[in-house]
Structure 1
Amino acid sequence: MTYLANALALLIQFAFGCAVALFVFRLLAEAVRADFYNPICQFLYRATNPILTPIRRVIPTWRRTNLAALLIAWILEVIKNFLLRFVAGDFWASNGGTLVLGVADLLNFFLIVYLIMIFAWTLLSYVNIDARNPLVPLLGKIVEPALKPFRKVLPLIGGFDLSPVLAILVILLLQVVVVAWLLNTGHTI
């Protein structure tokens, strides 16, 4: 690709990454029943409601999972992959492959988000944090359910919680095995 195509690809990835982040965080906030009055949640709801409200009439929430937000995030990933393939000059790319790449990219996005949030939550547990910061309770509300199964396997050792290490290891393994397989499948279809 040329320098201009690389710059355009970067802009596409940034714009679609921001849009996907809004819907993924909305999905996570609803899944853990985060405080609706949290300013961050208010921002997420206001930013995504114009798109999600009409779609939620057709696609309802299922077991605390906002399927409409998940669908929009996946559609955005698919559109991003179509645009990136177009910019790269891959006009004859398979539509099925692009759909699989959308799943792979969305799963990878979820895993990266959880990796960063678990790492941040672990760091925040070692420092004195301001509990009035709206990010702290939201981060805890999202991360704690993900760490709970790992705490059953790996209890506190000498006052240290090593469950985040195990959770991060599982996330990295999922990226290496599942996401890599999906990406390979998407590129070969």
Structure 2
Amino acid sequence: MTRWKDATFIFISTNARHDEEGVEALWLDVMEALAARGATVRLLALSSSETLERASERGIPVDVYTLDAWNVIRSRSRLRKYLRRYGPVAAHSTGLEADLMLRWAARRIPGMAVVHTLSTSAQGTRRRRPIDALMRRFDELGMRRAAAVFVEDEDLLVEVRSAGVPPERVLLESTAASLRPAVVERHLRLYQDLMAR
């Protein structure tokens, strides 16, 4: 079993917004809790994301994520190299582009778990075109391989399960600040289980 001090966790977001009740705000608390246990954590986010600055203020190492809209193969290759460099126990993503790219890049990285958080809020990614339906279908098919999928509400839970993700891997969570300590602990338990694999 991997120990906390030997474990690395990567968080990837393609959301430009930072909502104080949102996924990235929760992640900052999760990352701090992981670091307090001795784990290495990194945040990979868009340069326009407010979360990069907030993570830096908390002492969390950050890197800018660049999606090459004209060459997704190059983007996948960059992400795969990044993941291999840090060798995380798990990479946790949010945002349609991050979810799709992570699963694609992670396919040839043995021993790394993929975790997603699906948000009910509108995410400021570039995918607001008719191709959305196709991308969502790829997302549904790929999610089945994720070690866990966190969702924010019951409707999303039903949708993810109906996409074929095994029920035991779909986890309902709240990003509300009042419930945050319990949700952070739930994340830590999941990561500890992934370290034991």
TM-score by length of 2: 0.29
Choose 1 or 2 for highest CA Rg: 1
Structure that is richer in strand per residue: 2
Structure that is richer in helix per residue: 1
